Structure 1
């Protein structure tokens, strides 16, 4: 058994964990980040970097390098395709931000970029291939975690343990914190198709009782389709030809590429889950990101809310962690800051998810879609809600440690 000691241990190398680890390390807080996988390459993850996040990179002085180094597509407007006709519904071009667009990119590129910059600080340690297995307790306080490394088990003692280990968080479950689940009527199927004919960037394509998403990954489409929750088995029983026909009915430009879909093993099920902790912390322990509030995939905002959680947490916690004075009131302050915008976003997502479930069974009212697409005010309002969220965070931590070149 190995024994390590640090000021803050972060479990999970997703957007929340990586951003928090980076911000704490640059603020002079000794931080260990644990990631159970050997790399960040996981498909079917959030691929949108919204203007709220690119503004944070701008405040950190990283934006120009980020945009130059990481391949991405800039999308200034988003719409919906219905029976071959595209209707613009969301406009980011008037936002008061450095980037007036959503950047589409594989999430692993975003995480690799942050990891590279975090590891330039001597106060940061990234431990890959290390899976947390439990919480350590000292009386009524969480005092760290146990984990399994490639070299064997380890106990890591820390002044603060932060769970960023996703919607199926092991640490959250072991903490016993009360969790409220929200009913989700949909699941999503993800699959890849060869890149063929160009298509407009949209929120989705509707037709034939199907909702299809198609994310441009350069040489292939990352596709998704919304299905009724629990109906994957019925779709499989109907057969792949029927599934391909339904996808093509909603997104005809994919018809030729669909011939490459020859086995159900190429189709992955994402079980949509949404929940929120009633309390995000215990003495010595905090949950943020999906560990605190799993979001619906509607709008692709989950990544950006997770990053905002990390920024708010670093703003509140960096100084008391560095001074050795972090207390319960600091952890409550993080929840007080981030819970209200999360509640609003999840409420609206619930309504939008119910609409998606209805649209997967019936055609949407075209008169309403047309009316919304003609209103520049509505499109700008939707762009602000999606691009910035309901409470913007800004970088208040300072760079106290000299990074390596």
Structure 2
């Protein structure tokens, strides 16, 4: 990169949003020699996202490891996210194979712990400038290409020029909207409320999810001895829920099979939630722009995949564009590779999630797999890999897996 080229850019990359995706991308890009401005509209370095499953699926463990966060998470009391799932055929309880390796895991950890941790790590990374109180209000464009952002700051308006602008600013991404990058919207026929409880014992001390067809619920143990408890009923139940939110929430939990003893636990937060949480998908690139995390794809919160995909998409982007962003390659070609990889890895998951968000009972394939997983440890382990997003739909529903599930269910029927 020549001195003249460098002078045209304040940074190599400007990232809007200093939450999980943005901080991870900033760290991983800077470690590869990229100069990064990390913009966060909030001024508090300890700010965090409250409405979240507070769970990181196992697919993101390698990213946490690369970021160097695993020891810090363990010290902070993050809980390895083992889980069991209730179905009408009984509980699915994935366990390691005899003499086999432990099941893959990541962590349940409250965002009030996680967000300041990763933001601090980003701020300490050489090559990253964390700019708090900076809100993107416009894009700087030249010849049909984005070459920077305009930001509202405590000192006034400011332009920051860069080869690449990254939108890590959530499902309502200002970067995406300013760039005219439309979102494909999928309606969600469920609503959700959650609250945090202390001293709420769970069977085996691990996470529980209830597939009630079509209603859902989950309870995830987190750091600090706090359990996140969420209910996700169909929207036809919303008017009655709103009449008495606390009473409806507790009644729903009490009615769960093998329900946790919520009445003897201490609720330590308000009951909060969202009555309309559609799924979104956007093409993750445009000239001079990349989207990561919820800005590129917002899944259904009932699956708890948002944190994991935020971290993974940040890693995918850094791997593909770092050299070009630093002036050592073709940025458009690198962005095209990132977009193809993002689509290949996540579009199948999103398709299935959007279909299930219609709040329907299980379809025949789901009945086949869930029933077999409740009856067979090998199928349960296979389902664990899919729920952890370590395999995609095509591997989850491959002919061998379907044949095994069919054989398991036929044996059960014969017995």
Q: Report the TM-score when normalising by structure 1.
A: 0.81
Evaluate the alpha carbon distance shift between residue 133 and residue 81 of structure 1 in structure 2; reply closer, same or farther with a 3 A threshold.
same
After superposition, what is the alpha-carbon deviation per residue over 1:286-342, rounded to whole angstroms, capped at 9, x for unaligned? 112211111112321222222221111111111111225443222111101111121
Say whether 1:380 aligns with 2:381: yes
Confirm or deny: 8 A CA contact 1:70 1:110 kept in the other structure.
no
Which residue is equivalent to 2:14? Answer: 9
Which residue is equivalent to 1:398? Answer: none
Q: Aligned-pair RMSD on alpha carbons? A: 3.4
Which residue is equivalent to 1:229? Answer: 235
What is the CA distance between 1:187 and its match in structure 2? Answer: 1.7
SS in 1 for 2:219: strand
Say whether 1:55 aligns with 2:67: no
Q: Which moved more, 1:330-339 or 1:204-213?
A: 204-213
Say whether 1:305 aligns with 2:309: yes
Say whether 1:267 aligns with 2:268: no
Evaluate the alpha carbon distance shift between residue 371 and residue 110 of structure 1 in structure 2; reply closer, same or farther with a 3 A threshold.
same
Matching residue within 325, 332, 335 for 1:328: 332
What is the CA distance between 1:343 and its match in structure 2? Answer: 0.8
SS in 2 for 1:253: coil
Distance across 2 between alignment mates of 1:103 and 1:238: 33
Which residue is equivalent to 1:362? Answer: none
Confirm or deny: 8 A CA contact 1:283 1:327 kept in the other structure.
no
Confirm or deny: 8 A CA contact 1:180 1:276 kept in the other structure.
yes
After superposition, what is the alpha-carbon deviation per residue over 1:127-165, rounded to whole angstroms, capped at 9, x for unaligned? 223222222212311111122223332221111101111
Evaluate the alpha carbon distance shift between residue 284 and residue 233 of structure 1 in structure 2; reply closer, same or farther with a 3 A threshold.
same
What is the CA distance between 1:23 and its match in structure 2? Answer: 0.6
Instruction: Give 1:183-332 correspondences, 5 Å limit.
Output: 183-200=187-204, 201-205=206-210, 211-217=216-222, 218-229=224-235, 232-237=238-243, 240-250=246-256, 252-257=259-264, 266-269=271-274, 271-277=276-282, 279-323=283-327, 325-332=329-336
Say whether 1:149 aligns with 2:153: yes
What is the CA distance between 1:212 and its match in structure 2? Answer: 2.5
Structure 1 unaligned blocks of 5 or more:
360-364, 392-405
Distance across 2 between alignment mates of 1:169 and 1:49: 22
Which residue is equivalent to 1:42? Answer: 49
Distance across 1 between alignment mates of 2:85 and 2:174: 37
Evaluate the alpha carbon distance shift between residue 272 and residue 257 of structure 1 in structure 2; reply closer, same or farther with a 3 A threshold.
farther
Distance across 1 between alignment mates of 2:370 and 2:381: 15
Confirm or deny: 8 A CA contact 2:149 2:161 kept in the other structure.
yes
Evaluate the alpha carbon distance shift between residue 122 and residue 102 of structure 1 in structure 2; reply closer, same or farther with a 3 A threshold.
closer
Structure 2 unaligned blocks of 5 or more:
1-7, 393-415
SS in 2 for 1:180: strand
Q: Which moved more, 1:245-254 or 1:338-347?
A: 245-254
Matching residue within 79, 83, 106 for 2:85: 79
What is the CA distance between 1:271 and its match in structure 2? Answer: 2.9
Which residue is equivalent to 1:389? Answer: 390
Say whether 1:168 aligns with 2:168: no
Q: Which moved more, 1:338-347 or 1:38-47?
A: 38-47
Distance across 1 between alignment mates of 2:388 and 2:253: 28
Equivalent residues, number: 376
SS in 1 for 2:255: helix
Distance across 2 between alignment mates of 1:180 and 1:345: 15
Q: Report the TM-score when normalising by structure 2.
A: 0.79
Confirm or deny: 8 A CA contact 1:25 1:121 kept in the other structure.
yes
Evaluate the alpha carbon distance shift between residue 99 and residue 56 of structure 1 in structure 2; reply closer, same or farther with a 3 A threshold.
farther
Distance across 1 between alignment mates of 2:57 and 2:228: 19
